[in-house]
Structure 1
Amino acid sequence: MKPTRVRYLIVLMLFAASAFSYGDRVALSIAGVSISRDLHLNALKLGYLFSGFSWAYVAGQLPAGGLLDRYGSKRVYGISIVCWSLLALLVGFAGYFPAAIAFTVIFLLRLLSGFAQSPVFPGNGRIVASWFPAAERGTASAIFNASQYFALVLFAPIMGWIAHISGWKECFWFLGVLGFVLAFFWTKVIHGVKSHPRINQSEIDHIEQGGGLTNIDLKEGAAQKGPANQLTWSAIRMLLGNRMLVGIYLGQYCITTLTWFFLTWFPVYLSQARHMSIVKVGIMAALPALCGSVGGILGGVASDRLLHAGHSLTFARKLPIVAGMLLAVTMIGCNYTNSQWLVMLLLSFAFFGKGFGALGWTVIADTSPKTLIGINGGLFNLIGNLAGITTPIVIGYIVKQTGSFNGALVFVVATALMAIVAYLPIVGEIKRVDLRLPKPEGEAA
């Protein structure tokens, strides 16, 4: 029987859900100019507001990974979508408070939203590891990872237009309503591999023969039994004791620094440093993001083709990462020109490179211990998204102290170079980690 192609529908759903998750973050950056004006915020305070999401997002990664391994991806992820959509609606209503109170309320709501969205990318990695054979994971992971760029392409012009004609509060109401629609489709599309109503046995066999972990969500919606998928300090210590994984975590922190520059300060940079209107910012921000989307997908396709051509997994994953980060360094040229079109060209090259090299989730799907996929994905995303805390604050401090974005671009470029160091000398050979957790006392070996 000809295999079905249900896994392509699955990755399309992951792309949509991730794009909406990033759309929630993009809304604050596009509305940042209006919010800073209405709430009388300087650059450093705006940086703290941008970082609010990431404090709880980081703190929620390990619990989210444990919940995903215990209760399954569909249930945990679906609840996440509903919660962040509700919180987006509330951010809009917070704008009616006096300025001092509104800042605190929005910061707290962004904290909660970060916690609510913490299962998204560990869930994506877990679903891809389950639904895709190893030779297709690069492309699949690149597709859902490209959502962070597509979110700017899709939402930046819409948010810029809404903010211009109505106000920043309406941006969050718009996202909240769309989020509930997304949650409905999630429940209809996402299932475990062997329980999906549209899949046939030929596709299941294709996935399993290629290394897909089709059994990780057999009991969909029910707690999984056994110590192997529990969140314990022993499991965390074993993951952090592996040099290859530590190098991957460090590389993700550096790459995510670029992500958070583009998601938070990039629209403000265009407005304040390049003197663009809010509507023009929404349109112009979409152009480099479109390049990032293309680069993100091409990076995964290139990696999988290198694998198909007979190159080692290590070479196939590392080459696009290193090449992408070298291309991202071109943004430093923005410090040496006053031409808006040249600035947008350089940022488009940098965004393309950042997308091309963003294969961290592919590498995690390739390397995670089979019983700790959710937890390892959570730890990976926790360390990576520490950049979501540090990047907005560091850039805000630099801009406040210098009155210029030049130092901020130097900071971002330096982290791109550090990502290359992490993946070349530290990571070493890329391969599946075999960690055997100790049996609980009294259990037979």
Structure 2
Amino acid sequence: MQTEKATKKRFVIGFLLFLGVVINYMDRSNLSLAAPLLGHDLHLNSVEMGFIFSAFGWSYAILQIPGGLLVDRIKPRLLYAVLLCGWSVATCLQSLVNNFSALFGLRVALGAFEAPSYPTNNKVITTWFPEQERATSTAFYTSGQYVGIAFFTPLLVYIQSTLGWRGMLFLTGVTGVLFSLVWYLFYRSPKDSKANEAELDYIRRGGGLVDADEKENGKKADWLQLKYVLKNRNIWGVFIAQFCLSSILWFFLTWFPTYLVQYRGMAFIKMGFMASLPFLAAYVGILLSGFISDTLIKRGHSTGFARKVPIVTGLALATSIVGANYVQDQTAVILFMALAFFGNGLASITWVFVSALAPSNLLGLTGGMFNFMGNLSAIAVPIIIGILAKGGNFKPALVFISALALIGALSYLFIVGEVKRIVVPEKADQIQLQK
């Protein structure tokens, strides 16, 4: 009897996630491209722009835990479609603003709708992919946050030069609304998809939680169980490092174009092309990261070692951003920025630790906590940089980002230990006994 050949439907799902992340990050970062012109038109100073850049982070971070609860209760097909449509409409409406308050409010709304997106991505990956493919799949969909900006930044700058910053914001928002329909039409959970039993068995055998939706959907969160998870040292190690890693990303998503134009004297159109180079470097970094990590797993190395190698190496490389303080040539500045952001990309498979550590019934909530801790940087970093650069000197800001990268690397080296899934007792009295 011939064995049925496994289908490859999980790769289609990975591609849908990739496209969703491309749109997600275009809608987060398009304001940074618009900032030099938008700030002039709306008469906003550097401190006010710092608060505008951070507005997204307030709601995005605060709603991570409620968002994680939604992920554990609502299936990704419906939830992600609603989120995509919501944040894309908020992006469209930004094209109509005429003052600080309206823009601040819409950036808050954008963050609120995007809050559950990455916990949703993580749940989809954990249910659709086995452990030996998880770093590569996580790297692939996460690469969307870099490749979208890298390849579309010149296009968005051109659109802005033709239609203005309002036209650019409107078109990126419309793109997201259309993709929300695509997601709803094409996404299915593993058991409801056209994946055959051979593929489902392959995913199960590799540790993929194929039945997670059926088993866990609709269960109430047990806060005592979450408290038990938060006592785990590994969890706090990855939380600290994620804040540091996200801080680097948020510099590039917010202040980087302004840094090139206002502090390095780069022409606006030239900035559009030069600013894309670090994102291309980060894209290469994250794809390389997934390949290296999964290759180490397949060669018999422990999960912890295989996942930590690219992350620690990447964070160490990211400290090189401070080198831009010591060069005057614009090309040299971009080279330091590209090296640092390559490191950021190399370190950006950190969600694999959530997949590996989180209890199966708390994937969304643990992912929400992880993203909450990481994206506190979305609140703090834009404001801190705005204050540090207030006097016209950007050097202290780059020292600040470099120091955070070093702290992140040290966290993975000295706090995160053996990586294995946390198993929490089902009943409160059992948890009490294990305190």
TM-score of the superposition, structure 1-length normalised?
Answer: 0.93
1:278 CA drift (Å) = 2.0
Distance in structure 1 (CA, Å) of the matches to 2:318 and 2:358: 27
Structure 2 residue matching 1:212: 3-state secondary structure: coil
The answer to whether the Cα contact below 8 Å between 2:322 and 2:398 also exists between their aligned partners in 1 is yes
Look up the equivalent residue of 1:66 and give its one-letter code: L
- Equivalent runs, 1:293-304 vs 2, <5 Å: 293-304=283-294
Distance in structure 2 (CA, Å) of the matches to 1:393 and 1:236: 31
2:432 corresponds to: none
What does the per-residue CA deviation read over 1:222-278, in whole Å, with 9 as the maximum and x for residues that have no partner? x93434xx2x53233222211110111111001000010010011111111221122
Match of 1:422 among 406, 411, 425: 411
1:439 CA drift (Å) = 5.4
Match of 1:209 among 205, 212, 218: 205
Match of 2:273 among 266, 275, 283: 283
Whether 1:226 and 2:219 are equivalent positions in the alignment is yes
- Equivalent runs, 1:313-328 vs 2, <5 Å: 313-328=303-318
Match of 1:178 among 162, 175, 180: 175
1:189 CA drift (Å) = 2.2
Whether 1:376 and 2:358 are equivalent positions in the alignment is no
1:409 corresponds to: 398
The answer to whether the Cα contact below 8 Å between 1:295 and 1:356 also exists between their aligned partners in 2 is yes
Whether 1:103 and 2:114 are equivalent positions in the alignment is no
Look up the equivalent residue of 2:291 and give its one-letter code: V
Match of 1:50 among 53, 63, 73: 53
The answer to whether the Cα contact below 8 Å between 2:315 and 2:343 also exists between their aligned partners in 1 is yes
The answer to whether the Cα contact below 8 Å between 2:263 and 2:392 also exists between their aligned partners in 1 is no
Match of 2:115 among 115, 118, 121: 118
1:261 corresponds to: 251
Distance in structure 1 (CA, Å) of the matches to 2:219 and 2:177: 34
What does the per-residue CA deviation read over 1:117-161, in whole Å, with 9 as the maximum and x for residues that have no partner? 111110011100000000100001111111111122133212211
Distance in structure 1 (CA, Å) of the matches to 2:96 and 2:62: 26
Look up the equivalent residue of 1:215 and give its one-letter code: D
Look up the equivalent residue of 1:290 and give its one-letter code: L
1:317 CA drift (Å) = 0.7
- Over 3 Å counting, the alpha-carbon distance change for 1:84 and 1:225 in structure 2 is closer
Structure 2 residue matching 1:404: 3-state secondary structure: coil
1:437 CA drift (Å) = 4.0
1:19 CA drift (Å) = 1.1
What does the per-residue CA deviation read over 1:56-94, in whole Å, with 9 as the maximum and x for residues that have no partner? 001111111111111112211110001011111111112
Look up the equivalent residue of 2:40 and give its one-letter code: R
1:443 corresponds to: none
Whether 1:165 and 2:168 are equivalent positions in the alignment is no
Distance in structure 2 (CA, Å) of the matches to 1:83 and 1:20: 13
1:71 corresponds to: 74
TM-score of the superposition, structure 2-length normalised?
Answer: 0.95
Structure 1 residue matching 2:95: 3-state secondary structure: helix
Give the % identical residues.
38
1:343 corresponds to: 333
Distance in structure 2 (CA, Å) of the matches to 1:416 and 1:256: 9
Distance in structure 2 (CA, Å) of the matches to 1:88 and 1:225: 31
Distance in structure 1 (CA, Å) of the matches to 2:61 and 2:288: 28
Match of 2:13 among 10, 19, 25: 10
Whether 1:140 and 2:137 are equivalent positions in the alignment is yes
Structure 2 residue matching 1:427: 3-state secondary structure: coil
Whether 1:436 and 2:425 are equivalent positions in the alignment is yes
Distance in structure 2 (CA, Å) of the matches to 1:412 and 1:437: 41
After TM superposition, where is structure 1 displaced by more than 6 Å over at least 4 residues in a row? none
Whether 1:397 and 2:391 are equivalent positions in the alignment is no
1:48 CA drift (Å) = 0.5
Distance in structure 2 (CA, Å) of the matches to 1:54 and 1:155: 23
How many pairs align?
Answer: 427
- Over 3 Å counting, the alpha-carbon distance change for 1:225 and 1:289 in structure 2 is closer
Look up the equivalent residue of 2:297 and give its one-letter code: L
Any gaps of 5 or more consecutive residues in structure 1? 441-445
Structure 2 residue matching 1:237: 3-state secondary structure: helix
What does the per-residue CA deviation read over 1:11-38, in whole Å, with 9 as the maximum and x for residues that have no partner? 1110110110110011100001111111
Structure 2 residue matching 1:166: 3-state secondary structure: helix
Distance in structure 2 (CA, Å) of the matches to 1:53 and 1:235: 30
Any gaps of 5 or more consecutive residues in structure 2? 430-435
